[in-house]
């Protein structure tokens, strides 16, 4: 049978665009449909604008530090509109790069919603149908809001980039990395910031000691973090929102943001009618090769709810092309993914937490907390934290956890060592780079504890 395309990609985010480009470079005839903006969550409403906001929010403290170092400079006011305009321009630039990548590789694009009509047919919003030998679904996910009274008064992370003005006060509900990152951003921009989390400690799933360090430092920097607390009701009160929490207390906020979960964008795609299996969160169930139960249909990225990170979606897209278009069956590697959480302070992590490692066998823990030289000289009380989790059996470093300025940069490099299977002795044999914070990773000689 003759198809219109060898590959039709639904979704123009990082995973979909990469798969489309690489397949086209292999000589495949490729099309891609995107209903919103090219670049997806990461570029348009995720990592990129968030990181720009993190940068912007950190400059306030730099003025004080510079004064402590002898610079005669005075703090000014932060102009949200100036920053926002430049941020929008940067996102437009990046979106155009994504569009250019597709165009330059002869990928035909459709700026409209696409759904799946059958195993080899995609239906566009205008009613046009296109056939393809393979269909790749890379539609990502979206923030969700819980069903509580007055929830329409709340915003999500999608909306925070588009605020007309910075609020004087904000409540952020949630304890994951998105909630915790935006708590730091808003606090750094001078907004009175409160964070509710219903659990015992923020950043569930990360190393207990590291996440506790992050939480304590956030509080030290001015975030009003309230654990074991959730919002149960929102009411409009003039221009503000009155929030009732699980303790029965009420408080007024200018804005309320929920970052309590994300859901895959599978609704209305037509998948279930074709026999594509969806999981409990409506994620697409795929094999190790990203293939669904319908052999011609594949899925990558957040819509599969495996490891919801941009570089992972890109790797899944690359592995899909290797498997389907290069005849080289390739499974994306989801083991030992280094990651950074751009909280303030920043956290970088790779491998197992102490709790996870302990469940697998005897371990040694090497940990240290200290005031870094740059901040200490400026009179700040902030501390950084470094930790290695080591297997007693084979001496391998099972986990590395860093809470410090630049932790994301450090963990990328430490991640290579951990991925290669480096032992504690390999770390010990490496000469320290002095004076740096990261030298502590190779100078910790005595275990803090064993378990």
Active site residues: 434
CA 197 from centre of chain: 18
Round to whole Å and give the CA distance between 430 and 297.
47
| Distance between CA atoms of residues 322 and 331, nearest Å | 9
Bridge-based pairing state of the strands 363-370 and 169-173 = unpaired
């Amino acid at each position: 049978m003759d198809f219109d395309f060898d590959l039709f990609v639904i979704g123009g985010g990082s995973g979909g665009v990469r798969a489309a480009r690489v397949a086209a470079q292999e000589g495949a005839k490729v099309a891609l449909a995107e209903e919103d903006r090219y670049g997806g969550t990461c570029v348009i409403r995720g990592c990129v604008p968030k990181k720009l906001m993190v940068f912007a929010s950190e400059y306030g403290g730099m003025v004080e530090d510079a004064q402590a170092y002898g610079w005669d400079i005075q703090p000014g006011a932060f102009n949200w509109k100036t920053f926002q305009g430049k941020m929008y321009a940067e996102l437009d630039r990046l979106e155009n790069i994504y569009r250019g990548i597709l165009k330059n590789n002869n990928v035909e694009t459709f700026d409209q919603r696409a759904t799946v009509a059958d195993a080899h047919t995609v239906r566009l919003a205008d009613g046009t149908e296109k056939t393809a030998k393979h269909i790749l679904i890379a539609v990502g996910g979206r923030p969700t809001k819980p069903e509580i009274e007055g929830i329409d008064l709340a915003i999500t992370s999608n909306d925070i980039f588009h605020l007309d003005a910075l609020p004087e006060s904000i409540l952020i509900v949630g304890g994951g990395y998105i909630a915790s990152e935006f708590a730091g951003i808003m606090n750094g921009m001078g907004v009175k910031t409160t964070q509710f989390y219903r659990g015992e400690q923020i950043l569930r799933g990360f190393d207990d000691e590291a996440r506790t360090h992050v939480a304590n430092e956030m509080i030290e920097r001015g975030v009003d973090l309230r654990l074991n607390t959730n919002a149960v009701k929102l009411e409009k009160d003039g221009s503000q929102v009155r929030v009732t929490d699980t303790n029965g207390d009420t408080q007024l906020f200018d804005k309320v943001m929920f970052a309590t979960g994300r859901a895959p964008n599978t609704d209305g795609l037509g998948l279930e009618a074709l026999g594509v299996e969806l999981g409990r969160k409506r994620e697409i169930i795929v094999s190790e090769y990203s293939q669904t139960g319908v052999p011609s249909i594949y899925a990558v990225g957040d819509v599969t709810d495996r490891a919801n990170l941009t570089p992972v979606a890109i790797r899944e897209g690359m592995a899909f092309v290797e498997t389907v278009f290069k005849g080289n069956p390739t499974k994306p590697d989801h083991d030992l993914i280094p990651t950074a959480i751009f909280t303030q302070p920043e956290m970088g992590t790779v491998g197992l937490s102490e709790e996870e490692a302990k469940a697998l066998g005897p371990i040694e823990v090497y940990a240290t907390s200290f005031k870094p030289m740059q901040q200490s000289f400026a009179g700040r009380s902030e501390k950084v934290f470094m930790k290695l989790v080591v297997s007693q059996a084979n001496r391998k470093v099972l986990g590395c956890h860093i809470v410090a300025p630049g932790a994301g940069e450090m963990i990328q490099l430490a991640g290579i060592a951990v991925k290669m299977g480096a032992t504690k002795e390999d770390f010990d044999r490496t000469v320290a780079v002095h004076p740096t914070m990261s030298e502590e990773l190779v100078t910790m000689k005595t275990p803090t504890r064993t378990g």
